[in-house]
Amino acid sequence: MWESAALSVTVFLPLVGAAAIALIPHAKERSAKPVALAVTLATFALSLLILASYYLGPAGGQGRAFIVDVEWIPVIGAGYRVAIDGISMPLFVLTNLLTLLCVVYCFHHIEPPGRPRAFLGLILLLQTGMAGTFVAFDLILFFVFWELVLVPMYFLIGIWGGPHREYAAVKFFLYTMFGSMIMLVGFIALYFGAGAETFSMVELSQAAAGGEYGIVFQRLVFLAIFLGLAIKVPMWPFHTWLPDAHTEAPTVGSVLLAGIMLKMGTYGFVRIAVPMLPEAAVDYAPFLAVLAVIAILYGALCCMAQTDLKRLIAFSSVGHMGFVMLGIAALTTAGVNAAIFGMVAHGLITGMLFFVVGSLKHRYHTSTIADIGGGVLQTTPRIGAILTFVAIASLGLPPLPGFWGEVVALYAAFNPAEAIVDAGLLGLFRVLVVFGAIGTLLTAGYFLTMLQRVTMGTPPRRWVDAGLQDVSPIELGAWTPLLVTTVVVGLVPLLVFGITRPDVSRILTTALTG
Amino acid sequence: MIAELSWLIPAVPAVSAALIFLIGKRLPRHGAEIGITAMAATLVLAIAVAAQVWRANVGVTIDPEGGGGAFLLERAVTLAPLGEDIAVQLGMRVDGLAAMMFVLVALVSLMVHIYSVGYMHGDARYTYYFGLLSLFSFSMLLLVIASDLLVLLVGWELVGVCSFLLIGFWWERKEIQDASMKAFLTTKFGDVGLVVAVVALGGATGSFAIGDILEAVEAGEVSHGLLTFALIAMILGVVGKSAQFPLHTWLPDAMAGPTPVSALIHAATMVTAGGFLVARLYPAFHESAAATGTLAVIGAITLITAGLLALVQSDVKKVLAYSTISQLGYMIAGLAFSYVAGVFHLFTHGFFKALLFLGAGSLIHAAGSNHMEAMGGLRRFMPITFWTFLLGSLALIAVPPFAGFWSKDEVLVSALDAGGYTGILVFALGGVGGLITAFYMTRVLYLVFAGQYRGHGQPHESPASMTFPMIVLAVAAVGIGWVNLPVEAVQARAFSSWVMYDLGYWVEHPVEFHPFLALMATVLALAGVLGAWAIYRTYPERDPMYHLGIVSHVLERRYYLDDLYTDLISRTAVRDLMGPAAAWTNDAVLDGVVAGAGRGAMGLGRRLYRTGDQKGLEGVVNGLGVSALWSAARVRLAQSGNVQLYAGAMFVGVVVLAVAFAVGGN
Amino acid sequence: MAAIYPLTFAALLFSVGVYGVLSRRNAVLVLMSVELMIAAVVVNLVAMNEIVATQMGDPLLTGQAFALFVLGIGAAEVGVGLAIVLLLYRNRANVNVDDAELMKY
């Protein structure tokens, strides 16, 4: 019973919660917050239970567990197939953790026009979509969850966003929608390409490993799927929706967007693109790696020119996701491990960065660096200290999590998969390592400049007089778990590496050696 | 086996840092007592470990053929598996080198902690300061003890960020912010090389453990080209961290931090991390002539250029900073030829340079200014500071029998013994460097302590909490060099055996003592002293150092390197050109393509509903929206709200359907 | 085929109802016209039952039973309708259906 129901309950509980919140009468709008908190708390507790029983149960911490496989749309061979394995687990737990903290944060403030009922309902809906994406083992189901995410995020940006919210929301929606439609074409091609005519990810991966797909077919389909995933990641040069969306989105929207939604793209590479189209993945790996390194350098350089804090962090995400993609492009266990570690690290750290910047914006009513004018360490010392810590974590200071993701990705790129070496591309990858390492320097450069301009120095007169409130208990409640997790994951990287390694190893071995 | 407990050496300061940050403010002495207790405990442990290594290494007869024999304790737990068969290991690698560094770091750190109680008294961020000191001590000791290059890298970066936070301790002022940023970014530039080197060595040998890497290198498993590449990249990291030419420019600026911090981080410990790293991987460097040659050249250039820069400084801390860079040059050059020479100089320099910095702090405390123009005649007011500073200076000038003499002599001798172009270069420049060192230190002594007091107020001797550490370090500055006497005495060459990683190597490469050479170096030093004496024995109104025409100009502009890095590269090229260029590319080109694609795909709809100039996706979106509005405007006429109209429509519909059935059906 | 008469009657009655619904402006009259249409349907049901019973031998009085249902529901419907009309009157002081166009667009 627990085995078969746990995942579905955890994924759909927020959906039920969203429905329940929708039923709350208008007059009792305020009670939406406790309801949402209870739902996300329960969801997070359930996901921790799943994590625990994944280790203590028969799975023993590797392979797929909590498998459910029932008919859903038999006529096209789509099933309700969910399961969880070492690759999904960290992202699944992270999703539920971040959503919980977002709901906690909503007790502090919600951007105008307020309306907690609608806001929290959408967040819970978003949670179902995000969590579902990470546990779906059927391409159609995956796609449904994948698309489910778009709608609430569209409304979050479009209703609660900044001054240019409509433009950002529409751009976000249309751009990612465009990518995912082409990705759907790729999925359908996979369906017909395999003799089995199924959408089951497991069976398709086996078919791919068995050499069902010809190389030309693989290359075409990879391009289609690549486009959908790359827009979501976002990889250079498909990233232009991201800064707009982040700049305009409400704090919580930014946190979830950066913290979870970007990972859906990279997760798709690990779960779908590489195992199902292994030969094409090898062929395209150098392109992925080059794009990744361009993203690293380019994101960092763009950051230097930014005048808005949220936009700066958005561009830093481009760079960080570049490291993740570099790890994936190496196509080795170490690389994919590093990528997943990088995803978790980025989710924790950048999520936290958006929280802090959101709180700054709430106090200063602007996120423009020049308008804040420095001296945050004096006006609101604790927020300043937290911002300093998180920025330093984000620039990859060891032993915080960002470092492990980056350095192991570089290591993986230095020693890429045999197939890449056989193609004579070892030299290219090793050159990319050097450029990637230079990216860490640029990252440090813009983050420190940002800190200097925001936290240090003496604050402008008007902010001193404004009597800004330092960190509130609610904010502290939302942030402390994130900060603690950041430090713990950094100090004990085993927490993530240990979960992911067996399954990453299994997937890659199956895919690349048949 | 006390060495089994070595892991406590970094652990104790780590706990101390956590405690200070958590509860320090509530304690009667605001956290200082925790830091000092912890460092004292660390020092006791360090000495115990060092003593054990000493017993194991010193005076042991070694068969030259067999090799090995040096004390080595390796303990590791797997921190995380990274890939198929590679992992990062949290472990300790305790040998003579580590033990030596334990003692150096723990002792200087303890002294700086005690000194800071007086120096930082009354500062608004007193507790934060002590927390950072403890955090730094932990990071440095972690770097030293690490058995895994990744963990070493962790320590390496952590000391960097501690240095950043401590230089920028008084962050309200712009120039201090700039100094801390410059320090962090310049060393980070070097770290790019180190990261590449670590990744390359790990990738080439399949392990990040230092022991495994050294084994693989010695067994010839790493191709020579790759090894040289990795080591040269690593040298970049060393150059950044140890402030070697041409990345030395951050260290003088780092003097903006509190003076005890300069003593600990920017003289005795962190800046020597580069030398330590080379020593740590010495067997690997030994395999690559290109790498050691690079070290020698860099060291030689650094020791002479930085020494020249020290001549034209009026800020006493900056003189010491350039002197530190110069001495680090000796270390790096020494490591190129002989493991012991570099490590020995690192050891002695740590004590006497920390002493000099603490002395400088005491002077600044008294005179209220960094500038030597505002000092003078302080010998009468501050006897303890004077005497300890004098002893430190003599050690730095390398007057026998003070500490610096023995170690610098070792560097010069090993360079001469090695011969070749690099050997001669290091030897010649090293000799001249000794002359310069003597000159600028004598200049400092005269400007600060002789003549009349030229500053404001009434200077006074510093409190005991500040003079006590200076006295302790002065004792070390005098005597610490005797642990490696190059004569057949009781404990001859004890230090060399103590820190050696392979006693067989040591037996094979004995370094001779050349009395003539030592005499020559001493004469050069005395010449420098005499030269300065001639100029500065009475206070010169017109300091000749500032009036040497083009030479002074170039030196005062620091060879224009700062202009090159700060203005040209980092400000103009990266921040003002590349950053905006990337941003422009982003907004105009990439976003333009996206928007253009949107336009192209939806162009038809747009032409139907909107004319004229539209920008970006907005036109497409609006086009879609307008099309919806247009059709809606027509369709909605049907929604009249008139019930009878609806009913009539229904009726007509029913009739039509009825007719249709009647005609079409049967 | 005696059923032709009641069916013709029902059709005429229904037409009168439709005419009333479409042409009258007064909501009460519209309601009454609706009642006429319902009455026509009831007649139809009874007449049809006659046809079904004679031709197919159905002994059950299905049509009559439905007719009773429809009458009952029709009574309820009149109640609701009149209530709406009353509210309309109370709000607007007239019961002209042309003016009640809140649902426009």
Tens-level pLDDT at each residue, chain C (105 residues): 577 888 899 999 999 998 888 888 888 898 899 899 999 999 998 888 888 777 777 677 788 888 999 999 988 988 998 998 888 888 888 888 777 776 666
Output the pLDDT for position B523.
87
Phi, psi values for residue B433, rounded to 5°:
-60, -35
Length of chain B counted residue by residue: 666
Residue C101's closest chain B neighbor by CA?
A: B641
Give the domain ranges of chain A: 277-514
Q: Which residues of C touch B (CB under 8 A)?
A: 18, 21-22, 30, 97-98, 100-105
pTM attached to this predicted model: 0.81
Output the pLDDT for position A64.
87
Helix axes B464-479, B403-418, angle to 10 degrees: 40
Q: How far apart are CA A11 and CA A6, in angstroms?
A: 9
Name the residue facing B641 among C18, C21, C102 (closest C-beta).
C102
Residues of B in contact with C31 (CB under 8 A): none
Q: Pairing relation of β-strands A65-73 and B87-95?
A: unpaired
Helix axes B126-145, B96-119, angle to 10 degrees: 170
Hey, are the CB atoms on B639 and C22 less than 8 Å from each other? no
Q: How far apart are CA B598 and CA A348, in angstroms?
A: 34
Hey, are the CB atoms on C100 and B640 less than 8 Å from each other? no
| Average pLDDT estimate for A405-411 | 92
CA dist B461 → B111, B361, B390, B475 (Å)? 18, 12, 15, 19
Distance in Å, alpha carbon of A14 to nearest chain B alpha carbon: 32
Q: Determine contact: B575 vs chain A, CB below 8 A.
A: yes
Hey, are the CB atoms on C30 and B644 less than 8 Å from each other? yes
Name the residue facing C18 among B642, B643, B651 (closest C-beta).
B651
Name the residue facing C98 among B642, B648, B651 (closest C-beta).
B642
Q: Are B190 and A441 in contact (CB under 8 A)?
A: no
Residues of A in contact with B582 (CB under 8 A): 298, 301-302, 304-305
Helix (H) or strand (E) holding A65: strand A65-73
Is the alpha carbon torsion for B77, B81, B84, B86 positive or negative? negative
Output the pLDDT for position B509.
64
Residues of B in contact with A445 (CB under 8 A): 185, 188, 570, 574
| pLDDT tens digits along A95-113 | 999 999 999 999 988 888 8
Residues 339-368 of B with CB under 8 A from A: none
- Separate counts of helices (H) and strands (E) for chain C: 3, 0
Q: Identify the residue whose tokens are 């083009």.
A: B550
Hey, are the CB atoms on A301 and B591 less than 8 Å from each other? no
Name the residue facing C21 among B640, B641, B647 (closest C-beta).
B647
Please, what is the end-to-end C-alpha distance for chain C in angstroms? 49
Residue A296's closest chain B neighbor by CA?
A: B582
- A-B CB pairs within 8 A amount to 164
Ramachandran category for residue B398: left, alpha or beta (phi over 0 → left; psi -120 to 50 → alpha): left
Q: Are C4 and B630 in contact (CB under 8 A)?
A: no
Name the residue facing A170 among B153, B585, B621 (closest C-beta).
B621
For residue B363, give every residue at least 6 positions away whose Cβ sits within 8 Å of its Cβ, in sequence order, or none.
B316, B375, B378, B382, B385, B389, B448
Distance in Å, alpha carbon of B252 to nearest chain A alpha carbon: 20
Confidence of residue A345 (pLDDT cuts 50, 70, 90): very high
Q: Are A63 and A44 in contact (CB under 8 A)?
A: no
In 3-state terms chain A splits into helix, strand, coil percentages (rounded to 5) of 80, 5, 20
Q: Any idea which fold C4-99 has?
A: Helix Hairpins (1.10.287)
Q: Determine contact: B148 vs chain A, CB below 8 A.
A: no
Residue A416's closest chain B neighbor by CA?
A: B203
Helix axes B316-337, B339-367, angle to 10 degrees: 180
Output the pLDDT for position A137.
92
Output the pLDDT for position B374.
80
Q: How far apart are CA A366 and CA C29, in angstroms?
A: 64
Q: Are B618 and A164 in contact (CB under 8 A)?
A: no
Hey, are the CB atoms on B574 and A445 less than 8 Å from each other? yes
Angle at B606 between CA B602 and CA B612, to 5 degrees: 135
Q: Pairing relation of β-strands B87-95 and B72-81?
A: antiparallel
Residues of A in contact with B195 (CB under 8 A): 407, 410, 437, 440
Q: How far apart are CA A232 and CA A225, in angstroms?
A: 11
Distance in Å, alpha carbon of B94 to nearest chain A alpha carbon: 21
Q: How far apart are CA A145 and CA A126, in angstroms?
A: 9
Instruction: Please state whether at least 3 CB pairs lie below 8 Å between chains A and C.
Output: no
Output the pLDDT for position A329.
93
Token digits for A510? 């199956």
The one-character DSSP state at B574 is I
Residues 23-62 of B with CB under 8 A from A: none
Distance in Å, alpha carbon of C61 to nearest chain B alpha carbon: 27
For residue B190, give every residue at least 6 positions away whose Cβ sits within 8 Å of its Cβ, in sequence order, or none.
B236, B237, B238, B239, B240, B241, B247
Specify which of A188-192, A327-331, A447-451, B267-271 reaches the highest per-range mean pLDDT: A327-331
Is the alpha carbon torsion for B495, B501, B507, B508 positive or negative? negative
Residue C24's closest chain B neighbor by CA?
A: B644
In DSSP notation, B613-631 reads ---HHHHHHHHHHHHHHHH
Q: Are A21 and A121 in contact (CB under 8 A)?
A: yes
- For an interface test with A, the pick among B142, B177, B589, B615 (most A C-beta atoms closer than 10 Å) comes out as B177
User: Which among B258, B246, B213, B454 is positioned nearest to B360, based on CA atoms?
Assistant: B258
If you average pLDDT over every residue of chain A, what do you get? 89
Q: Identity (one letter) of the amino acid at A513?
A: T
Distance in Å, alpha carbon of C14 to nearest chain B alpha carbon: 12
CA dist A158 → A247, A250, A362, B326, B616 (Å)? 12, 9, 18, 61, 18
| pLDDT tens digits along A115-135 | 888 899 999 999 999 999 999
Token digits for B539? 């206070």
Q: Determine contact: B588 vs chain A, CB below 8 A.
A: no
In DSSP notation, B373-391 reads GG---HHHH-HHHHHHHHH
| Average pLDDT estimate for A179-206 | 86
Q: Which chains contact C through at least 3 pairs of Cβ atoms less than 8 Å apart?
A: B
Q: Are A4 and A68 in contact (CB under 8 A)?
A: yes
Q: Are A434 and B195 in contact (CB under 8 A)?
A: no
If 0-12 CB within 10 Å is exposed, 13-18 middle and 19+ buried, where does residue B153 land?
buried
Q: Are B299 and B239 in contact (CB under 8 A)?
A: no
Q: Identity (one letter) of the amino acid at A441?
A: L
A411 three-state secondary structure: helix
Hey, are the CB atoms on B648 and C97 less than 8 Å from each other? no
B35 CA to centre of own chain:
22
Output the pLDDT for position B31.
80
Output the pLDDT for position B604.
46
Output the pLDDT for position B504.
66
For residue B145, give every residue at least 6 positions away whose Cβ sits within 8 Å of its Cβ, in sequence order, or none.
B6, B7, B9, B10, B92, B93, B94, B98, B102
For residue B416, give every residue at least 6 positions away whose Cβ sits within 8 Å of its Cβ, in sequence order, or none.
B423, B424, B427, B514, B517
If 0-12 CB within 10 Å is exposed, 13-18 middle and 19+ buried, where does residue B6 land?
buried
Residue A241's closest chain B neighbor by CA?
A: B591
Residue B634's closest chain C neighbor by CA?
A: C105
Residues of A in contact with B88 (CB under 8 A): 404, 493
User: Which among A432, A116, A111 is positioned nearest to A294, based on CA atoms?
Assistant: A432
B14 three-state secondary structure: helix
Helix (H) or strand (E) holding A245: helix A241-248
Give the domain ranges of chain C: 4-99
- B-C CB pairs within 8 A amount to 29
Hey, are the CB atoms on A303 and B578 less than 8 Å from each other? no
Confidence of residue A514 (pLDDT cuts 50, 70, 90): low
Phi, psi values for residue A83, rounded to 5°:
-165, 175
Q: How far apart are CA B175 and CA B189, in angstroms?
A: 21
Give C87's Cβ-side CA count (13 Å radius): 6
Distance in Å, alpha carbon of C16 to nearest chain B alpha carbon: 13
What are the mean pLDDT values of chain B's consecutive 10-residue runs (666 residues total)?
83 89 82 88 91 80 61 84 83 88 91 88 85 91 91 91 88 83 86 91 89 88 89 91 86 87 87 91 87 90 87 86 91 88 88 90 84 81 87 87 84 83 88 88 86 80 85 86 67 74 67 77 86 78 71 73 71 71 71 60 47 45 67 74 80 87 73
Ramachandran category for residue A85: left, alpha or beta (phi over 0 → left; psi -120 to 50 → alpha): beta
Confidence of residue A205 (pLDDT cuts 50, 70, 90): confident
The one-character DSSP state at A348 is H
Residues of B in contact with A430 (CB under 8 A): 200
Hey, are the CB atoms on A493 and B168 less than 8 Å from each other? no
Q: Are A447 and A395 in contact (CB under 8 A)?
A: yes
Length of chain A counted residue by residue: 514
| Average pLDDT estimate for A348-357 | 94
Give B108's Cβ-side CA count (13 Å radius): 33
What value of ipTM does the predicted structure carry?
0.89
Residue C26's closest chain B neighbor by CA?
A: B644
Q: Are B116 and B473 in contact (CB under 8 A)?
A: no
Q: Which chains contact A through at least 3 pairs of Cβ atoms less than 8 Å apart?
A: B
Hey, are the CB atoms on B617 and A167 less than 8 Å from each other? yes
